[in-house]
Amino acid sequence: MIFETLTGQLTVVITLAFGALLIVLSPIINKENKYFAWFSLAMGVIVLFLLFWFTFGNEVIRHQILKYGLQ
C-alpha cells in the first residue's frame, strides 16, 4: 500500500519537474534555435496540462484531493 502511494507521488513530482524544465529551458534554447525553443515551451505546457487533466479529471482522485489535500 505504501509503495503504491509513494510511486504515485513520485510520478507526479517527476512529471511536474519535467514539464517545468521544458518551460524554463525555452528562453535558453531560444538563443540557439527559435523553433526548438517554441517546441520545448509547447511540450512543457502540454505535459503540465495532461498531468492536471489526468489528475483532476478522475473523479475519485479529485474527491481525495479536495477532502484530504496534498499530504
pLDDT tens digits for range 9-54: 778 888 888 889 888 888 888 888 888 888 888 998 998 888 888 8
Is the pTM higher than 0.85? The answer reads no
On the question of pLDDT at 2 being above 60, the answer is no
pLDDT of residue 35: 87
The per-residue pLDDT for 65 is: 75
Asked whether the beta carbons of 47 and 19 are under 8 A apart, the reply is: yes
In the prediction, which pLDDT does 60 show? 80
Query: 16 exposed, middle or buried (CB, 10 Å; 0-12, 13-18, 19+)?
Result: middle
> What's the confidence (pLDDT) of residue 54?
82
Cell of 58: 478522475
